[in-house]
Structures are given as structure tokens and as C-alpha cells.
Amino acid sequence: MNRDAAAAVLAGTDLFGTLGEAARAAVADRMTAGRFPRGAFVFLQGDPGDRVFAIVDGLVKVTVTSEQGDEMLLVTLGPPATFGELALVDGQPRSANVEVMEEATLLSLTRGEFFDLARQHPALFENLLRTLSGVLRRLTDQAADFVFLDLLGRVAKLLVRLAADHGDPAGDAVVELPLTQSDIARMVGASRQSVNQALRTLEKVGCIEIRGRELMVKDPAYLRRRAGL
């Protein structure tokens, strides 16, 4: 990937998007591009935390695994999201796994290179704080959902977010689910069977229609109300 193409990707990210063109080009010059097949792990929980990534294309999922092997899905990310920012702060081992769901092209920047660039372009430090604040707010929101929402509410809220990411939440939207029902179950803290029942309940009341791995959001206002939004 050439510098101009990489800089164009960075322009859409929260971490690098507010930089001027010259600064983004300087970052792009330091980045390494890599292609990852479906099912590959970009890194595993406990791996050295030595770089940050930006997604050019494809889809990844971020998970955490317990010592007993139980897995929780935190979020799915597509372009132009970044991930691995926590390693820029402390350089500690990775706190989560990142697995490729759809073949992906990723740009990466080492921690040392980031700080070298940040000394030249101090706005990078502010952007890093803003990006990490967004991650913390999302995790806080997810933790609150487990306390204050029932399963149907958590599923509804997830569908609202999927509609925003993959469709048109203001009206009828065809959303191609990037997750299996098992993935959704790991994301909302339930069994696959319970998630299937929740989806069928939402379908019965007429707010969604399931078509294989596609989902028609027919009443986004109902979903938002059920999710407490």
C-alpha cells in the first residue's frame, strides 16, 4: 500500500484523523501493511503489546478469554477503526484477543514510532486520550447493560448498534449480520438458544424480520425503546 492510500485511511480514524496532511503522511510512512486471512489472530491475550493497528478493509472481533476457556465478545470492528491503543500507553501484554472475521488489510505502527511521531506532532497525545476515553465509555456502557437490561433489551440494543453500523437506523434497513447467533450470545452474555428465542420474539412483534444471515429492521423506534435508548 502506498503512502497516499495509507494516509487516506488514517484520515478517517479518530486517532489520526485530526492531523494535518503532512503529519498524516509522516505517520503513513512509518506504518506497515499486512493482509490477514479469515480466522487468523492478529494477536492473542497475553502477547506483547508493541503496536497499534488501523483497519483498511475487512472485519475483526475483539474477545477476552477466561482461564477456563470461556469467551466474551466485546466488539466487532471494521474500517476505519483502530485497535490496540492501550499498548501505546503502558506497553503491557495484550488484554484481549483480536480475530479476523472477514479477510482484512491492516496498517500497524509500533509504540516507539508512535511516541517519536507524537513528539513531533503533540496532537497525537490528545487524540490517544480521546480514543481511549471512547473505549472506556463503551466498556462502561456494556457493563451497565448487564446490570440494568434484560436479555431482550441487550439484544435490542445490539441490533440498534448493528443497524447504525451496517444500515439506516432512521428507517427500514437491511442489515447483514456480521455475527453468528453464537457470536451475539457471547456479546450479550447468554446462550445461543436464548438469543435465538429473543430474536424470534422481536420478529413476532414485527420490529425485525430474519432472512438467513440478513436482518430487516422494520421498527427501529421499537428497538430503541426496548433497549432503553
Do 172 and 219 reside in the same domain of the chain?
yes
198-213 pLDDT per residue, tens: 999 999 988 888 877 7
Do 78 and 19 reside in the same domain of the chain?
yes
The upper half-sphere exposure of residue 40, i.e. CA atoms within 13 Å in the direction of its Cβ, equals: 13
**pLDDT at residue 65, rounded to an integer:** 86
Tell me the CATH number at 73. Answer: 2.60.120.10
Say which residues have a Cβ less than 8 Å from residue 222's Cβ, sequence separation at least 6.
205, 207
Say which residues have a Cβ less than 8 Å from residue 22's Cβ, sequence separation at least 6.
none
**pLDDT at residue 145, rounded to an integer:** 84
Do 50 and 158 reside in the same domain of the chain?
no
Do 136 and 173 reside in the same domain of the chain?
no
Ramachandran quadrant class, 189 (left: phi over 0; alpha: psi -120 to 50; beta: rest): left
Name the H helices within 149-219.
151-166, 181-188, 192-204
Do 118 and 153 reside in the same domain of the chain?
no
Q: Of 82, 62, 41, 39, which Cα lies nearest the Cα of 187? A: 62
CA 103 – CA 41 distance, rounded (Å)? 11
**pLDDT at residue 177, rounded to an integer:** 64
Tell me the CATH number at 186. Answer: 1.10.10.10
Do 106 and 173 reside in the same domain of the chain?
no
**pLDDT at residue 153, rounded to an integer:** 92
- What is the number of domains present in the chain? 2
CA 74 – CA 196 distance, rounded (Å)? 19
The three three-digit cell numbers of residue 92, written as one number: 503491557
Do 113 and 159 reside in the same domain of the chain?
no
Do 123 and 170 reside in the same domain of the chain?
no
**pLDDT at residue 168, rounded to an integer:** 55
Regions of the chain where pLDDT drops below 70 = 165-178
Residue 196: which domain range? 149-226
The upper half-sphere exposure of residue 69, i.e. CA atoms within 13 Å in the direction of its Cβ, equals: 0
CA 107 – CA 52 distance, rounded (Å)? 8
